[in-house]
């Protein structure tokens, strides 16, 4: 996507202060969007990213919210609208990965994973849709995972949450396609983020021979934002693991 292509657009990135979310936030700002990067705990990292975007002549704000909570989402969206304008682009990136074996997996682990990884996508999408519909234009990209279709290393609760994200993606896409709103997903596997620290042995599973980069996931997101004809799709990014 060219610089300035999203001038005049407002984007909200959940979990936008670090890792994949931070890479997406930077890419959106470079393309000219005003970016609201949501965070739950790491205020310092969020503030540092806002400063970095401002120094590169971009526009961004940091917004604290637990996106698994209805009231918090409503307040977040209202603040973004008042400070940056109506939200045109939503990147549902917030998520947690609690690694558990079947025998260690508790109901609380399951509920928390579903709430943060899946329910948040529903809550944020519902909250921004009135603005997108009013403008007859919208782009929603949900960050899934290779675990939506494969076994993964985190656990069945995580598999279920990400498979649900892809189900929501298709369900919303089918119902919004005539309103100028596209809904797609990106499903990365083994990306070099905090989650992969100390797990270098997993590289042996990747035919390409390295972890993916957060910036490469951001490139896929920007491709989807730029394509008005592509909707209801999941773009897998696995370094060749999908056909290994």
Neighbouring C-beta atoms of residue 28, cutoff 10 Å = 31
Exposed/middle/buried for residue 39 (C-beta within 10 Å: 0-12, 13-18, 19+): buried
Question: Is 158 an active-site residue?
Answer: yes
Distances (CA, A) of 2 to 28, 45, 225: 10, 27, 12
Q: Residue 12 to residues 80, 157, 190: CA-CA distances in angstroms?
A: 8, 26, 24
Report the chain's C-alpha Rg in angstroms. Answer: 17
CA 92-95-101 angle, 5° bins:
145
Tokens encoding 105? 């997996």
User: Which residue is catalytic, options 39, 158, 172, 229?
Assistant: 158
SS3 226: coil
Q: Using alpha carbons, select from 82, 55, 80, 85 the residue that is nearest to residue 67.
A: 80
Beta strand 89-92 with 138-143 is parallel
Alpha-carbon separation of residue 168 from 56, 75, 143, 234, 235 (angstroms):
35, 23, 12, 11, 15
CB 123 within 8 A of CB 68: yes
Q: Would you please indicate which residues are annotated as catalytic (active-site) residues?
A: 158
């Amino acid at each position: 996507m060219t610089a300035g292509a999203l001038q005049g657009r407002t984007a909200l990135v959940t979990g936008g202060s670090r890792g994949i979310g931070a890479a997406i936030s930077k890419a959106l700002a470079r393309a000219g969007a005003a970016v609201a990067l949501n965070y739950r705990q790491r205020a310092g990292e969020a503030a540092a990213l806002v400063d970095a975007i401002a120094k590169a002549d971009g526009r961004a704000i940091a917004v604290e919210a637990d996106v698994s909570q209805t009231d918090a989402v409503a307040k977040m969206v209202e603040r973004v609208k008042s400070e940056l304008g109506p939200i045109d682009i939503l990147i549902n990136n917030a998520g947690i990965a609690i690694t558990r074996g079947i025998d260690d997996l508790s109901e609380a682990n399951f509920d928390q994973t579903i709430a943060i990884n899946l329910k948040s996508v529903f809550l944020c999408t519902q909250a921004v849709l009135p603005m997108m519909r009013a403008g007859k234009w919208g782009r929603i990209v949900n960050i899934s995972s290779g675990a939506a279709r494969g076994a993964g290393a985190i656990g069945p609760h995580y598999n279920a949450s990400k498979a649900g994200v892809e189900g929501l993606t298709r369900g919303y896409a089918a119902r919004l396609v005539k309103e100028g709103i596209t809904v797609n997903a990106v499903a990365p596997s083994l990306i070099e983020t905090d989650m992969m620290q100390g797990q270098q042995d997993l590289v042996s599973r990747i035919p390409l021979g390295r972890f993916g980069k957060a910036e490469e996931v951001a490139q896929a997101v920007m491709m989807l934002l730029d394509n008005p004809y592509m909707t209801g799709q999941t773009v897998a990014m696995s370094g060749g693991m999908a056909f290994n």
